[in-house]
Amino acid sequence: MSTTSSASPRGKLWPWLAISAVIVATTYQLRRQGRRWWCACRQYTPWWGDIHSSHNSQHLFDPYSFTHILHGLVFYGLLAKSTPRLSPAWRLGLATGVEALWEVIENSEAVIGRYREATVALGYHGDTVANSLGDILSCGAGFVLARRHRARAADLDS
Ligand SMILES: [Zn+2]
């Protein structure tokens, strides 16, 4: 496995601190934008499989989580090409940042308002904070999956 050349143990902490900061800031911003913590149904099941229900995008994971795993796979490929000198942890940080920014924009009043008419029947008022964090987590999982897969492919080559 290749890690960055001169990263001291303390230096290796920075990307993880950055990722934590992004997650805290995203949570804060989503709350400020008026998003709920969790589905109004108050059933604390992490997964909700029916996208045609008012529970969609309100629990931690739902079928849309897979599209966010896909984002992670794509980010891995793009960043491996465009930022080869960054450590994988920093690339994961970048991917997390972009995905988090997307969640904040997607859950702003302006964007929700645009789509509200179509989804008003389902009582949609934005993703919950839990769902946005689940999406970011899924993106991270996709990134890590891509990296594992690539590492294994490289092992087979040598
Ligand atoms: Zn629910």
pLDDT, one tens digit per residue, over 36-89 is: 999 999 999 999 999 888 898 999 999 999 999 999 999 999 999 999 999 999
**57 CA distance to ligand 1 centroid (A)?**
9
Contacts of 136 (CB under 8 A, 6+ apart): 23, 26, 68, 96, 99, 100, 103
For residue range 83-102, list pLDDT tens digits in order: 999 999 999 999 999 999 99
**155 CA distance to ligand 1 centroid (A)?**
44
* Reported pTM: 0.87
Phi, psi of 147 (to 5 degrees): -65, -45
C-beta of residue 58 within 8 angstroms of C-beta of residue 48: yes
For residue range 122-142, list pLDDT tens digits in order: 667 789 999 999 999 999 999
Phi, psi of 43 (to 5 degrees): -95, 120
Does residue 152 surpass a pLDDT of 90? no
What are 137's two structure tokens?
Answer: 């987590």
Cα–Cα distance list, 118 to 12, 13, 17, 64, 96 (Å): 45, 44, 39, 18, 29
**58 CA distance to ligand 1 centroid (A)?**
6
C-beta of residue 72 within 8 angstroms of C-beta of residue 143: yes
Q: How far apart are CA 105 and CA 26, in angstroms?
A: 11
**118 CA distance to ligand 1 centroid (A)?**
19
Mean pLDDT of the chain: 89
